[in-house]
Structure 1
Amino acid sequence: MDRLFTVDEARLLLPGVMKDAAEVIAARADMAEIDFARRSGGRSELGGLPELKGLQARIDEIITEWSRQGIEVKGIAPVLIDFPAVLDGVSVRLCWIEGERQLGWYHRTELGFAGRRPL
């Protein structure tokens, strides 16, 4: 999907994205604990391989939904997403990373995260 967002459209979607991101963050931590227990020969109270696979599936569902909406997922550790946009005739990405409380950054498409500037 080649959707372009306005700043207002992206900001309206952000509360839902942040809620989903919190679920990804929790699942990511649970997966790390389960995986560590499995590799070290121990057992996690969080479960084993079935629970690990379930957590992976849930993260995949969230990422698929974001992509369906036109949101670009750049990473999950940390959660980093971009909303494609055009500002002043220039192709940009409205950029949000886990821990931020609002959508306050953008970067030119070709510069990536290192080119982030405040909106």
Structure 2
Amino acid sequence: MGLFTVPEARAELARLLPILDEIVTVRADMVEVSAALVPGGTPTDLGGLPERKAAEARLNELMTEVQETGAELKGVAPLLVDFPAELDGVPVLLCWLEGDTELIWYHRADLGFAGRRRLP
């Protein structure tokens, strides 16, 4: 996949938001069911092992769908999605973190999340 422009990345993020929201829900369900399955775990009405396996499969499908766009899924808890781009000839990653309402951050590709800055 190629590089995204800022407008392209913002459009792709808008398209992905329902998928990202579902990832958050399925992730929470999977964690709750997993906790219920350990000895002494708190029971849940979400189900048992079959539901946990189904949630895991769905989570994998959703993550694959995100990555097929050319975006990079860097974290699942919290969700972190990077869109490869270039700003002023410098390789960067346009960076969306779970809870962000829009795509307004980037970091140089060689710096990682700690080098995050607001887009100019």
TM-score (norm 1): 0.94
Q: Percent identity?
A: 53
CA displacement 1:26-74 (0-9 Å, x = unmatched): 1111111101110034532101111111111111111111111111000
Letter in 2 for 1:14: L
Match of residue 83 from structure 2: 83
- Secondary structure of 1:111 counterpart: coil
Number of residue pairs matched by the alignment: 118
Using the alignment, how far apart are the partners of 2:106 and 2:87 within structure 1?
Answer: 9
> After TM superposition, what 4+ stretches of structure 1 lie above 3 angstroms from structure 2?
40-43
Q: Comparing both chains, which one has the higher relative contact order based on Cα–Cα distances under 8 Å and sequence gaps of 6 or more? A: 1
Give unmatched runs, 5+ long, in structure 1.
none
Using the alignment, how far apart are the partners of 1:15 and 1:50 within structure 2?
Answer: 32
Query: 1:19 aligned to 2:18?
Result: yes
1:22-33 matches, cutoff 5 A: 22-33=21-32
Match of residue 44 from structure 2: 44
Match of residue 72 from structure 1: 72
CA-CA distance at 1:15 after TM superposition: 1.8
CA displacement 1:67-111 (0-9 Å, x = unmatched): 111110001100001000011000000000000000000000000
Letter in 1 for 2:12: L
RMSD between superposed Cα atoms in Å: 1.1
Match of residue 97 from structure 2: 97
